[in-house]
Every structure is written in C-alpha cells, then in structure tokens.
C-alpha cells in the first residue's frame, strides 16, 4: 500500500541535537508534525521503520527525521 503519512511527535523538553550534516538544531518543547511520502516501493513500511528508530530497535539514520525520533514520543501516525 502506498500514500502519504503524518507522524505527530511530542518533545517533552527543549533539546539541541545534531541532525546529520545540518549540524546542531534546537527544538523547543512541544508538538511537531512530520509529513512523509510512502509512494516508493516500500510503501507504508517506512512508517514501521520510523517507529523502530523511535523505540531504539533501529539505529540507522537515513533521513533528517531519524535524528529527532529517539528524542521524541510518537503520539500518532496518520496514513493517507
């Protein structure tokens, strides 16, 4: 199945994290939404990958969101 998805994230405190080649980025406490494409060959398997990174089961960082996921709580995922 293919489509678009939205990850709703919650960050409990202000943080500064290194985001790949972008360097150190400051994120304020609050809620964030990440919109991603699942139109490729893997489809919505990408959403499962994001959950695995957030829970520490996968340590590979491929996209910028992958650097933020371990520091946030995934509140919900909406598949469109």
End-to-end CA distance of the chain: 10
pLDDT at residue 29, as a whole number: 98
What pairs with residue 27 in β-bridges?
15
Q: What is the pTM of this model?
A: 0.86
pLDDT digits (tens, 9 = 90+) for 16-48: 999 999 999 999 999 999 999 989 888 888 899
Q: Is the pLDDT of residue 6 over 90?
A: yes
Q: Is the pLDDT of residue 13 over 90?
A: yes
State the Cα–Cα distance between residues 44 and 77, nearest whole angstrom.
11
What proportion of the chain, given as a percentage, has pLDDT over 90?
80
Per domain, the residue ranges of the chain are 3-79
């Amino acid at each position: 199945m293919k489509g678009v998805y939205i990850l709703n994230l919650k960050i409990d405190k202000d943080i500064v994290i290194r985001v790949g080649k972008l360097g150190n980025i400051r994120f304020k406490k609050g809620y964030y939404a990440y919109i991603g494409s699942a139109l490729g060959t893997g489809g919505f398997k990408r959403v499962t990958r994001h959950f695995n990174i957030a829970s520490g089961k996968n340590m590979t960082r491929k996209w910028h969101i992958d650097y933020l996921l371990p520091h946030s709580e995934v509140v919900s995922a909406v598949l469109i």
